[in-house]
Amino acid sequence: MEKVFRNYNENSVKAAVREHYKKMRQKQTVAYVAEMKQKYLTFDKPMMLWEALSHLDDLIDVSDPDLDLPNVQHLIQSAEAIRKDKRADWMQLVGLIHDLGKIMFLWGTDMDGTSQKEQWGMVGDVFVVGCALPDSCVYPEFNHLNPDMSDKRYNSTLGKYEKGCGLDNLELAWGHDEYLYRVLKHHPENKIPEEGMAMIRYHSFYPWHTGHSYTALLKEEDKKYLSWIRDFNKYDLYTKSDRTYELEKLKDYYLPIAEKYLGKGPIYW
Ligand code: FE
Ligand code: FE
């Protein structure tokens, strides 16, 4: 039988996934996101890329209904599939690092939802904060639990945004996508092309790239983002399997690509 991905039906999915999304919906507000940006975007913790990758051997993403392996295995599976399809080297690198923002669990806290135990501020599908939550979110029945949804400034279609303001002007729920994007944006040696940076920043934004919500907030140029992210999503989602790899054995192949686009020095997290 063909494997079904992203099945969130009550019986087939673990209670933990549902609970994760409930907390995420309850706690990810405009105020929370602003606070997390203040707190986590400090760029004062140097760490080599390969060391960061190895730390993801200690993290299992609780929001993922498809995979129970350490996150580093998912990164390798994605990268290897992109490599097998002979796609550009930068895209292979993006596959390998796209979830690396999850290393915030090393300095995260239960209270912020950025720890091993509490991951609602780190992983899972993201949505826009500051405007109405669409029904295309997973478990839309939790939408009304978000405190911003009883705040007049934030509970309308446009909320705090201007019509057609564009994807880059939206504030998404805090998590690993935005964190890695901002860390790399801040990294002086970053040469990952615009497409790759968009793949990193928006890959968890399912209500937009798969649910096609938020049309009033988008602008014409955002269409190019959509084609890039949908292209990347094939590798992020459909490569999940039980096959495991040894990270160290892949170093000879991927490290030179990483150095080409990110330099040889540490990245400041
Ligand atoms: Fe991700
Ligand atoms: Fe991923």
Please say if the pLDDT value at position 1 is more than 70: no
Q: Using the structure block, give the residue that is written with the tokens 């057609």.
A: 164
* Ligand nearest to C-alpha 123: 1
Which two tokens mark 234? 């094939």
Of the ligands numbered here, which is closest to the C-alpha atom of 238? 2
User: Can you read off the two tokens belonging to residue 18?
Assistant: 């549902």
Residue pLDDT, tens place only, 85-107:
999 999 999 999 999 999 999 99
How many angstroms does the Cα of residue 153 sit away from the middle of ligand 2? 33
Q: What is the pLDDT of residues 146-198, one digit of tens each?
A: 999 999 999 999 999 999 999 999 999 999 999 999 999 999 999 999 999 99
31 is written with which tokens? 């105020």
Residue 231 has pLDDT above 80, yes or no: yes
Whole-angstrom CA distances from 79 to 84, 172, 192, 222, 235 are 9, 25, 15, 25, 8
Give 23's contacts (C-beta < 8 A, 6+ positions apart): 113, 118, 120
- 168: number of Cβ within 10 Å: 12
HEC-encoded secondary structure of the chain: CCCCCCCCCCCCCCHHHHHHHHHHHHHCCHHHHHHHHHHHCCCCCEECHHHHHHHHHHCCCCCCCCCCCCHHHHHHHHHHHHHHCCCCHHHHHHHHHCCHHHHHHHCCCCCCCCCCCCCCCCCCCCCECCCCCCCCCCCHHHHHHCHHHHCCCCCCCCCCCCCCCCHHHCCECCCHHHHHHHHHHHCCCCCCCHHHHHHHHHCCCHHHHCCCCCHHHCCCCHHHHHHHHHHHHHHHHCCCCCCCCCHHHHHHHHHHHHHHHHCCCCEEC
Q: Which amino acid is at 58?
A: D
Ligand 1 center to residue 41 CA distance, Å? 18
- Compute the average pLDDT of residues 15-36: 96
Task: Output the CA 36–ligand 2 centroid distance in Å.
Answer: 21
pLDDT band (50, 70, 90) for residue 3: confident
Poorest-pLDDT segment among 45-54, 147-156, 194-203, 233-242:
233-242
User: Which pLDDT value is given to residue 93?
Assistant: 98
Rounded to the nearest angstrom, the distance between the alpha carbon of 99 and the centre of ligand 2 is 5
Token code pair at residue 101? 């923002």
- Are 60 and 136 spatial neighbours (Cβ–Cβ below 8 Å)? no
Contact in structure between 87 and 195 (CB atoms under 8 Å)? no
| pLDDT at residue 99, rounded to an integer | 97
Name the residues around ion ligand 2, CB cutoff 5 A: 99, 236
Spacing, Cα 98 to ligand 1 middle (Å): 6
pTM above 0.85, yes or no: yes
The mean pLDDT of the chain is 95
Torsion of CA 190, 191, 194, 199, to 10 degrees: -60
